[in-house]
Amino acid sequence: MSTVTVELPDSLRKSIEALAAQEGYSLSQFLASAAAEKLAAVKTMEYLRQEAAAGRREDFERYLAAVPDRIPPASDAIE
Within a domain: residue 30?
yes
Give me Rg for the CA atoms of the chain: 22
Q: Which residues, including other chains, have CB under 8 Å from residue 71's CB and lie 6 or more apart?
A: none
Domain ranges, residue 53 = 10-67
Phi, psi angles (nearest 5°) of residue 14: -65, -40
pLDDT interval class at 1 (50, 70, 90): confident
Count of structural domains within the chain:
1
Task: Look up the pTM and report it.
Answer: 0.66
Within a domain: residue 1?
no
User: SS3 for 68?
Assistant: coil
Within a domain: residue 25?
yes
Within a domain: residue 35?
yes
Contact between 31 and 16 (Cβ < 8 Å): yes
Average pLDDT over residues 54-74: 92
pLDDT over threshold 90, residue 40: yes
Within a domain: residue 15?
yes
- Kindly report the average pLDDT of the chain as a whole number: 94
Residues 50 and 32: their CA atoms lie apart, in Å, by 27
Within a domain: residue 31?
yes
Tens of pLDDT, residue by residue over 15-30, are: 999 999 999 999 999 9
Within a domain: residue 75?
no
